[in-house]
């Protein structure tokens, strides 16, 4: 049975008053990009399966993958891949006990975001 008299204990902060930190947002983004890469991998597998099935089916799937929408999906997949990779390196740094103070952790968060954008643009330009 719940205690009716809570005393002066504070309630948990509600989402409407909680200010998310950069480190929590980058952690959530790491999870999102990990799941998004699974969807991109399934798209590539679909493309390979179509190539192994028939020319007509491959032409259909290839038309989708190389369309503007497919290019957009692959662009964001590359962005997610670079971000997820850099966030993994950040976690390796943290696992070794370095850069755990908040200012440095926030700098690493911005480095992951900025580095992912720069590396994605370089990848698109080179490839």
pLDDT tens-digit readout, 1-18: 555 666 777 677 666 777
- When pLDDT is cut at 50, 70 and 90, the band that residue 19 belongs to is confident
Query: Could you tell me which of 108, 87, 3 has the C-alpha nearest to residue 37?
Result: 87
- Give the residue ranges of the annotated binding site for heme: 84
Residues 42/5, Cβ–Cβ less than 8 Å: no
pLDDT digit string, tens, across residues 68-118: 998 998 899 999 999 999 999 999 999 999 999 999 999 999 999 999 999
Given this model, what pLDDT does residue 89 score? Answer: 96
CB neighbours of residue 51 within 10 Å: 13
pTM for the structure as a whole: 0.79
The whole-angstrom separation of Cα 60 and Cα 22 is 42
Residues 87/30, Cβ–Cβ less than 8 Å: yes
Could you tell me the two tokens for 119? 């590396």
- Give the residue ranges of the annotated binding site: 84
Can you list the domains of the chain with their CATH numbers?
Answer: 22-126 (1.20.1300.10)
CB neighbours of residue 107 within 10 Å: 13
* Residue tagged 């008053």 (tokens): 17
């Amino acid at each position: 049975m719940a205690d009716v008299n809570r005393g002066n204990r504070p309630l948990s902060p509600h989402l409407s008053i909680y200010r998310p930190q950069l480190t929590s947002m980058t952690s959530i983004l790491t999870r999102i990009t990990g799941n998004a890469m699974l969807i991109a991998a399934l798209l590539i597998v679909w493309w390979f399966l179509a190539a192994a099935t028939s020319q007509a089916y491959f032409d259909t799937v290839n038309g989708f993958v190389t369309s503007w929408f497919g290019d957009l999906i692959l662009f964001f997949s590359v962005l997610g891949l670079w971000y997820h990779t850099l966030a993994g390196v950040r976690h390796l740094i943290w696992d070794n006990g370095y850069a755990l103070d908040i200012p440095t952790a926030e700098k690493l968060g911005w480095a992951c975001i900025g580095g992912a954008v720069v590396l994605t643009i370089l990848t698109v330009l080179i490839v």
